[in-house]
Amino acid sequence: MPEAIPTLAEWFHAEWHAFDGRSRGEIEAQLRDNLHRDSLPITFVVAEGTEVIGTVSLDLADLPPYDHLSPWLASLYVVPPRRRAGVGRLLVNHAAEFARQRGLSPLYLWTPGSTRMYAECGWEAIESATYAGRPITIMRRTPG
C-alpha cells in the first residue's frame, strides 16, 4: 500500500523521532525502500476498509549499537483507538511467520515500553540497554 507511506511516516516520526532523529522525508524514503513482497526490508499494514490501523516492519538493522544482530522486528504501531484489540499481536505474529517461512531466525526487537505482549507472542528479553538516553529492552524470538 504505497499510498499509506505518508500516514506511516507521520506515525513513525511522532512516535520515534526522539530516538532516531529521522525527518518525515527520511522515513518516507525508507518506507519506499520497503515496498517488497518477499524480501527484507518489508513493511506490513493492517487496514479496515481504506483506513490503515496498524503496521510493522522486518528490517536488517534497527539499533545501531547492535548491527551484528539481524533481522529486526521494527516499527510496530497501532492507532490508539485500536490498541489492546489484538491488532499488534496479529502484526507481530504475521511478521514472525513471514520470517520463519524464509528461515530468518532468530528475530530481534527493541522496545522502550512494555514487553508483555511480545513475551506472550514468544519473545524473550535478552538485554536491558540505553538508547538515545532512554531505557530499552532488547528481545529475541526463535521458532519453537
What confidence tens digit (pLDDT) does each residue in 96-126 have? 999 999 999 999 999 999 999 999 999 999 9
Decide: pTM greater than 0.85: yes
Dist CA 1 CA 51 (whole Å):
11
* Interatomic CA distance for residues 53 and 71, integer angstroms: 24
Name the percent of the chain lying above pLDDT 90: 68
**Considering only CA atoms, which of 38, 54, 63 is closest in space to residue 140?**
63
Fold observed for domain 2-141: Aminopeptidase (3.40.630)
What's the pLDDT score for residue 2?
84
Q: What pLDDT score was predicted for residue 61?
A: 93
Q: Which has more confidence, 123 or 17?
A: 123
Joined grid coordinates for residue 51:
483506513
41-65: average pLDDT: 93
Q: Which three cell numbers stand for residue 80?
A: 490508539
**21-49 as b/e: b if 16+ CB within 10 A:** ebeeeebbebbeebeeeeebbbbbbbeee
CA atoms within 13 A on the CB side of 126: 14
What is the pLDDT, as a whole number, of residue 144?
58
